[in-house]
Structure 1
Amino acid sequence: MSTYTARATVTPETDVVVVGAGPVGLLLADELSTGGARVTVLEQLAERTSESRASTLHARTMELFDERGLLSELGPPPAGGSGHFGGIPLDLTEADPDNPHGGQWKAPQPRIEEVLEKRVRDRGVDLRRNHRVVDVDDRGGHVEVQFIGPDGRSSTLRSSYVVGCDGERSTVRRLAGFDFPGRDATKELLRADVADLDIPNRRFERHENGLAIASRFPDGTTRVMVHEYGSIPGERDGEPEFAEVAEVWRRVTGEDISSGSPVWVNAFGNANRQVTEYRRGRVLLAGDAAHVQLPVGGQAMNLGLQDAADLGAKLAAQFGDSPDESLLDSYHEVRHPVGRRALNNIEAQAQILLGGPEVEALRDVVTELLELGSVRRHLAGAISGLDTPYPARPTPKRSRTNTTHIQRRTHMGKLSGKTALVTGSSRGIGRATAIRLAAEGALVAVHYASNSEAAEEVVATIEKDGGRAFPVRAELGSQGDVHDLFFGLEQGLKERTGSTDLDILVNNAGVMGGVPPEEVTPDQFDRLYAVNVKAPFFIVQRALSNLVDGGRIVNISSGLTRFANPQEVAYAMTKGAVDQLTMHYAKHLGSRGITVNSVGPGITNNGGPLFDNPEAVRQMASLSVFNRVGEGSDIADVVAFLAGEDGRWITGSYLDASGGTLLGG
């Protein structure tokens, strides 16, 4: 990811040029103008399209629209019925039953564009239709955009940044030289909106030769979509003729729809491509310019709108009092993994939806899996976008003209785009740590040994606050524990980010002894070492292939390595070993920029029955100079510091987080 710090040597005529006036480009223009930036939108179409290529809004987009006051301007949108996964019914409200925007909602693309265009024009955005971009030249300090105007003449516009929101055939992407790996379509759906047609509605109706979908709109037109099994997309110069759609429909369903009047016709396939970087210097991409996918279930438009919502505040912040290039870089760090995961999700649906008889067994298995509540919640959350980072929210700001604006909050979590594993995070310090890291933007793997309900509760708490998490089960201290842990971790990371990279490892899981030294048995001793020492050692060893350079390892030690409590001598010995693990691995991993530190809590409320005893709590509190017992959040805040960029110069250290207990009475 390149970072440009060069300052403009000429005065830009506008702050940002947005290329493309579809829903993504218009929402981005709205975000930027709300943040006080000067925006010019260049669109090659002379008029807004009447083609409703997309018509579905999902829960995360509905939340974003609601926050921006767009829902009231749209209608608000009517409910769009139950959702699906590859044509298999799936109630999207199960992602979050308490979310008022759960499910899917109908808002035709032309209506969205109409509302957004009015807003940006009212805000003073310079929207220029019938302007075709022909060159983009990043000069380091500014960008020069060459375009052909309505009069056929070539002109050049200087701006600080350019954002390509110009669709899957993006001119900006091509001119700026973005790498766009992936594959072309192997399957194709033909689609048409047809007037004067009376056929039954069909919802993913599978026939011997293909798939047929038909839905009557309130205005009387019928949308038909058809796929013939085994058909291979050919090269097209433009859109298909309605006669082709009607012929394929006849071969699949046996019905003749050729007497209908086509309103518009198009074809789309399961091409799957994503740029390697969402930003190259002063040129950025959003929506289908950055990623191309089958628009199954309306995910494509929602994914693009969420790109715009994330980018808007970060780009607008570059024109405030404290521009921050790293904030702008975080756009790629946040949205690229989200896009990769969405493309994987969509490709899986494409195979299930458009495959012929060869996928029937797979469809049967997926249908069985969807009977499980956790599977339904997981897939519904992915489709609805509720498992992705929430973009910045509004805060007041003064624009350059001293007019009060409402800007989307530019503060991003310090760990946005990072991944974390917290062992033993279903309760106590681990629970607080998982919640804290997720609040800073990390995707957190919540590890537990046996209490799945507690782990699911932690995940639910994180997701309710807009974070991302998933549970991982492994019984530490048992045979195959590290294998089980990383099998679940890598599977969860791959599903959500497209890779198995790990940025942060917190070794928190542990067991205590609580018996006099004279009564410690060999089995108890072995158990303490298996969970508290052996497991962390081999977890770190195994994690080395996942940890990225510059990653973080935080080991939870104990104040008992610094003061005596004979009741926990064996436990204290294990934590002393953890401190040695910290020191030696810090030396070993320094060349990779990976920091390794220990955090030593004192008496910390773990939710146990002892902390319900006021007298016991009073006595324990007296050991701290602050005259209180620690809370999980006290330790979690220290871990979050070490896990973030601010802790980059600390490694091999033991951080006393005992609330002054070690200072003595």
Structure 2
Amino acid sequence: MTGAADVQPRIDTQVVVVGAGPVGLMLAGELRLGGVDVVVVESRAEPTTESRASTLHARTMEIFASRGLLNGFGELPNDVMGHFGGIPLDLTLPGPYPGQWKAPQVRTEAVLQEWALSLGARLRRGHALTSVTLHQDRVEAEVSGPAGPVRISAQYLVGCDGGHSTVRRLTGAEFPGRDAGRELIRADVAGIDIPARRFQRLERGLAIAARSPQGVTRVMVHEFGSAAAQRTRDPEFADIRDAWRRVTGEDISHGTPLWVNSFDDASRQLARYRHGRVLFAGDAAHQQMPIGGQALNLGLQDAVNLGWKLALQVRDRAPAGLLDSYHAERHAVGRRVLANINAQALLLLGGPEVEAARCVLAELIALEPVRQRLAGAISGLDIRYDTGPGGHSLLGARLAHGHPVRSGRGLLIDAYGDPEHHLRLRRAAAPWADRVDVVAAEPETVGLSGTDAVLVRPDGHVVWIASAGPPGPEPLVAALRTWFGEPARLDHVSATRDLSVERTTRNPPAERRHDMNRLTGKTALVTGSSRGIGRAIAERLAREGALVAVHCSTGVEAAEDVVASIESDGGRAFVVQAELGVPGDVHELFLALEQGLKERTGSTDLDIVVNNAGVMGGVSVEDTTQEKFDRLFAVNVRAPFFIIQRALANLTEGGRIVNISSGLTRFANPDEIAYAMTKGAVEQLALHFAKYLAPRNITINSVAPGITRNGSPVFDIPEAVEQMAQLSAFGRVGEPQDVADVVAFLASPDARWVTGAFIDASGGTLLG
């Protein structure tokens, strides 16, 4: 008889990633941006403490910037000088991050892990892969965990588990190439003081030494003519101590090694990066000597190329052949990188026989075209994919300057500067609104001078260009089909945009996080958010992952306190000040808003608008003056209307607008007639704008709070609170968070099918 305790645990997911190094974590984050449920399994119980790969090249820095990751690294040392086989090479090329940047691998992994987990990826450390079984419609993987074996069922499995890939071994993937002939032993050693050496070629070998600000010296050594050791273990400190003495004559035996390892010049590449439902990225797909830090960067760029394609495949949105283009594009890039690394290894580790070649190459590098060619190859900035016919220099290349932070979606950038042109682009791209955003940009800010519009893949590469005036829709539609699949029906775009959310949240495993950061990557404006309901809304949206503009009319200190509260909770926010209800109010508001968004995201895109700011009347009919009446309508009606009107140029496809109304539109209070009239007008905004904005899949709704604790002294009087509580069906007064949770729902993808609605958030006060 088999008991419940004997049933093997099972995890169901859409993609399982094997390996939680930088490549696996980068891929997990990219898949989550694409709305895919992902589980990462890693045999190591704890993150590595060895910073083997520490160089980030310019293209990787651009990618990290486009995902908003650079802040997590803090200040990074930068040096424009790199090398080619130990020969100095200036890596400067046009772009925002010239040269190479130094970040310990432990820091890179920590930043990527925090990002992937914040997006909802699941990480299982201490789980080693033991078997892989391929089926026509899924992959079954078994891992051994601390509590025993666990079976994982997924649509796809990706091996990101390094040069000794278990996935590669279990699947029998063909891995042609050559074995190692030479090796470089390296270690981080504390407590030694030796001269710095940058690729110093001595009589007996190559020596490299660099001291960190923390006082730790990284040493690397190769003895000319020595063959790579056939190791069954990592080298020990004695190995590098003895080799260092033989090559340099220096004694480092008194130092304390933090870690020791070696790398060799083995060079192999998978024949195919895709084997049905199993794919490979990083060192699992290609083995090379990590000269100049190219290996890490190559792997991270594999992950970014694969992530959005696999996400579309899982969501049944991928056009034919898209997933196979991962192999076509990245195998060619990998082959080229391996070739230049092999050349560098020969120049770097060869003995006296390579000196003549080194002298010739040093002379050639002094020629600018040669320098640029080699710098482009090492930095990854010269990668250009075959994206179809056309001879424009940008086609297939990465968009280098000012590429805005996006959430793993395509980007159609309008640089023409004409409202009618922008509208035509939006209409043409509307059926792809679940996969592609449409934005306007100044040409000089994104490097598009002389170009009217470009379509950019989620990995930053340009796939369509218009540069001869307003384009017709046919070429653009063809490009959208080629890279983003068949269009969705317009009345289903919002639903399909969040299909993956439904899949990943229906019957979630018990261990899943409840807070899935539904608004990660979104931007929000909440007017009147320095206190009360507005503050609660701002804090709630920030907890969901949105970057929130906290608006105030006068109380800047209170708004700054809201921002501080959000940031202390791990969120992002900034203050915008503009008095509403006065001439020029909306203009001033959006000047501050767009500046704040641009500084933080590189774009002025806005995803969520909450019109919460308002003023109460609080006077009898007899005491209502024309000035008071006009002031109520200026703040409560005119400002929201023109805020929405002005926001139309910033709002993204699938955006959200929420207007805060009042239960007084349904519940009589003679002292608030004029105020109730303004809120009735606000509700009309939702009704009529809903139909106007529907073609862009923007929803707009009204939320009507009832009696809600707002800081008024009356809420300090227990008897008054008890009397007000009796008006609610729940027998209590409302809290600002009660309303904020309703607004957060309407701002989320879950509310895609609600628009033009009046939502009673009065706690049942309006039941009568």
Flag whether TM exceeds 0.5 (same fold): yes
SS at match of 2:321: helix
| 2-structure distance, mates of 1:114, 1:631 | 46
Give, in angstroms, the shift of residue 190 of structure 1.
0.5
| CA contact 2:273–2:281 (8 Å) conserved in 1 | yes
SS at match of 2:358: helix
Which letter maps to 2:371? R
Once the two structures are superposed, the pairs formed by residues 344-383 of structure 1 within 5 Å of their partners are 344-383=339-378
Which letter maps to 1:52? S
SS at match of 1:225: strand
**Is 1:233 matched up with 2:228?**
yes
Which letter maps to 1:109? Q
Spell out, residue by residue over 1:229-253, the C-alpha distance to the aligned partner (whole angstroms, 9 max, x if none).
Answer: 0000121111111111011111101
| 2-structure distance, mates of 1:466, 1:225 | 45
| CA contact 2:383–2:398 (8 Å) conserved in 1 | no
| 1-structure distance, mates of 2:150, 2:167 | 16
| 2-structure distance, mates of 1:408, 1:148 | 35
**Is 1:300 matched up with 2:295?**
yes
Q: Tell me what 2:267 maps to.
A: 272
SS at match of 1:251: helix
Q: Tell me what 1:163 maps to.
A: 158
Give, in angstroms, the shift of residue 72 of structure 1.
1.0
Summarize the Cα distance change of 1:274–1:41 in structure 2 as closer, same or farther, 3 Å threshold. same
Give, in angstroms, the shift of residue 407 of structure 1.
2.6
Spell out, residue by residue over 1:279-322, the C-alpha distance to the aligned partner (whole angstroms, 9 max, x if none).
Answer: 01000000000000000010000000000010010011123352
| CA contact 2:67–2:407 (8 Å) conserved in 1 | no
| CA contact 1:314–1:410 (8 Å) conserved in 2 | no
| 1-structure distance, mates of 2:363, 2:398 | 35
Summarize the Cα distance change of 1:18–1:243 in structure 2 as closer, same or farther, 3 Å threshold. same
Q: Tell me what 1:401 maps to.
A: none
Q: Tell me what 1:23 maps to.
A: 22
**Is 1:115 matched up with 2:111?**
yes
Which letter maps to 1:407? G
| CA contact 1:166–1:172 (8 Å) conserved in 2 | yes
| 2-structure distance, mates of 1:49, 1:327 | 34
Q: Tell me what 2:254 maps to.
A: 259
TM-score between both structures, scaled by the size of structure 2: 0.51
Alignment counterpart, residue 203 of structure 2, candidates 204, 208, 227: 208
Summarize the Cα distance change of 1:36–1:244 in structure 2 as closer, same or farther, 3 Å threshold. same
Alignment counterpart, residue 126 of structure 2, candidates 100, 120, 130: 130
| 2-structure distance, mates of 1:258, 1:343 | 35
**Is 1:175 matched up with 2:148?**
no
Spell out, residue by residue over 1:513-538, the C-alpha distance to the aligned partner (whole angstroms, 9 max, x if none).
Answer: xxxxxxxxxxxxxxxxxxxxxxxxxx
SS at match of 1:326: coil
| 2-structure distance, mates of 1:55, 1:396 | 26
Query: Which 10-residue stretch deviates more, 318-327 or 168-177?
Result: 318-327
| 2-structure distance, mates of 1:306, 1:410 | 19
| CA contact 1:71–1:77 (8 Å) conserved in 2 | no
Which letter maps to 2:244? W
Alignment counterpart, residue 286 of structure 2, candidates 291, 306, 315: 291
SS at match of 2:238: helix
| CA contact 1:310–1:392 (8 Å) conserved in 2 | no
Aligned length: 410
Q: Tell me what 1:319 maps to.
A: 314
Q: Tell me what 2:622 maps to.
A: none
| CA contact 1:12–1:142 (8 Å) conserved in 2 | no
Summarize the Cα distance change of 1:39–1:325 in structure 2 as closer, same or farther, 3 Å threshold. farther
SS at match of 2:96: coil
Which letter maps to 2:190? A
Give, in angstroms, the shift of residue 396 of structure 1.
12
| 2-structure distance, mates of 1:206, 1:466 | 48
Once the two structures are superposed, the pairs formed by residues 561-572 of structure 1 within 5 Å of their partners are none
| 2-structure distance, mates of 1:43, 1:234 | 28
| 1-structure distance, mates of 2:195, 2:404 | 52
Spell out, residue by residue over 1:607-663, the C-alpha distance to the aligned partner (whole angstroms, 9 max, x if none).
Answer: xxxxxxxxxxxxxxxxxxxxxxx97999xx99x999x999xxxxxxxxxxxxxxxxx
Spell out, residue by residue over 1:450-476, the C-alpha distance to the aligned partner (whole angstroms, 9 max, x if none).
Answer: xxxxxxxxxx999xx999xxxxxxxxx
Summarize the Cα distance change of 1:391–1:377 in structure 2 as closer, same or farther, 3 Å threshold. closer
| 1-structure distance, mates of 2:404, 2:243 | 55
SS at match of 1:146: strand
Which letter maps to 1:83? G
Which letter maps to 1:147? V
After the TM superposition, which segments of 4 or more aligned residues of structure 1 sit over 3 Å from their partners? 389-397, 630-634
Alignment counterpart, residue 140 of structure 1, candidates 136, 139, 145: 136
Spell out, residue by residue over 1:54-75, the C-alpha distance to the aligned partner (whole angstroms, 9 max, x if none).
Answer: 0000010000000001111111
Once the two structures are superposed, the pairs formed by residues 353-502 of structure 1 within 5 Å of their partners are 353-389=348-384, 406-409=407-410
Summarize the Cα distance change of 1:239–1:12 in structure 2 as closer, same or farther, 3 Å threshold. closer
Q: Tell me what 1:543 maps to.
A: none
Which letter maps to 2:183? E
| 1-structure distance, mates of 2:175, 2:450 | 37
| 1-structure distance, mates of 2:300, 2:482 | 29
| CA contact 1:246–1:258 (8 Å) conserved in 2 | yes
SS at match of 1:246: helix
Q: Tell me what 2:98 maps to.
A: 102
| 1-structure distance, mates of 2:61, 2:231 | 35
Query: Which 10-residue stretch deviates more, 56-65 or 76-85?
Result: 76-85
Which letter maps to 1:78? P
Summarize the Cα distance change of 1:375–1:255 in structure 2 as closer, same or farther, 3 Å threshold. same
| CA contact 1:313–1:409 (8 Å) conserved in 2 | no
Summarize the Cα distance change of 1:371–1:143 in structure 2 as closer, same or farther, 3 Å threshold. same
Greater relative contact order, per chain length (Cα 8 Å cut-off, separation 6+): 1
Spell out, residue by residue over 1:485-539, the C-alpha distance to the aligned partner (whole angstroms, 9 max, x if none).
Answer: xxxxxxxxxxxxxxxxxxxxxxxxxxxxxxxxxxxxxxxxxxxxxxxxxxxxxxx
| CA contact 1:164–1:286 (8 Å) conserved in 2 | yes
| 1-structure distance, mates of 2:404, 2:132 | 33
| 2-structure distance, mates of 1:52, 1:373 | 34
| 1-structure distance, mates of 2:327, 2:409 | 18
SS at match of 1:232: coil
Unaligned runs of 5+ in 2: 1-9, 385-396, 413-448, 457-466, 484-768
Spell out, residue by residue over 1:346-399, the C-alpha distance to the aligned partner (whole angstroms, 9 max, x if none).
Answer: 0000000000000000101111111110000000000000011467999999xx
Give, in angstroms, the shift of residue 275 of structure 1.
0.2
Give, in angstroms, the shift of residue 17 of structure 1.
0.3
| 2-structure distance, mates of 1:32, 1:160 | 13
Give, in angstroms, the shift of residue 406 of structure 1.
2.6
Q: Tell me what 1:329 maps to.
A: 324
Which letter maps to 1:352? L
| CA contact 1:291–1:339 (8 Å) conserved in 2 | yes
| 2-structure distance, mates of 1:370, 1:333 | 31
| CA contact 1:143–1:159 (8 Å) conserved in 2 | yes
